[in-house]
Amino acid sequence: MINEKDLEMIPEAPKHEPEPCSLVLGRFQPFHRGHVALIEWAYEQKESSHLRIVIGSANRPQTPENPWSWEERKEMIENWKKKVHPKWNIEIIAIPDINDPPRWVEHATRYHGKSGLLLTSDKETQKLYEKSKWKTKFFQLEKREKYEGWRVRETCKMLSTVKEKDSVKQILLETIPEAVIEWLMEKDHLSRLPFLGPNVEHVG
């Protein structure tokens, strides 16, 4: 068990607080089709010149729940954007966890800027930001259970030892965009999954 006090604040907050912006928050472990739906909706709803995508849990050690670093998750999103929406104006940043929900918005503001517009599919996150006087818009994600992060990770884990790449890709296409699958397979980022912990990760 990791002591929250032992978590480093990585990356560090920028020296100058960013300008207010339209935001999407997520862990993106991995970046899947549920995230795609949220971000494509958010880009249409944004009220600033660009959309700021915020990657959470940037300072978490590698575990079954957090198999990819924030830099790797940023690469996933960038590869998807390059292939699908190359002209979109998107900024991607990362924020470390503090595991203190009441203080989260205050902490996160140092990284993503003061009250702009939060675009989210998570009710609890929406409540936290509204308490801090942010404007929010809620996205009703269809087939939410299908896109729960732990389900997607477990599928990736089960397929991590399958040698037939076309079969792996065909199955993963149900929940992960093609550009991300290609990145995962090219970089061999599935092979680590069986070695990160228990056979079944905690979901409750």
Strand 117-120 and strand 22-26: the pairing is parallel
Give the whole-angstrom CA distance, residue 154 versus residue 82: 27
Nearest to 131 by CA among 144, 118, 146, 150: 118
Kindly list the distances between the CA atom of residue 143 and the CA atoms of 69, 147, 148, in Å, as whole numbers in the listed order.
Answer: 26, 7, 9
* SS3 sequence of 76-129: HHHHHHHHHCCCCCEEEEECCCCCCHHHHHHHHHHHHCCCCEEEECCHHHHHHH
Give the whole-angstrom CA distance, residue 36 versus residue 48: 19
pLDDT for 200 equals: 44
* Residue 133 backbone class (left: φ over 0; alpha: ψ -120 to 50; beta: rest): left
pLDDT for 23 equals: 97
CA atoms within 13 A on the CB side of 110: 15
Q: What is the pLDDT along the chain (204 residues), one digit of tens a residue?
A: 444 556 788 899 999 989 999 999 999 999 999 999 999 999 999 999 999 999 999 999 999 999 999 999 999 999 999 999 999 999 999 999 998 889 999 999 999 999 899 999 999 999 999 999 999 999 998 888 889 999 999 999 999 999 999 999 999 999 999 999 999 998 899 999 998 876 544 444
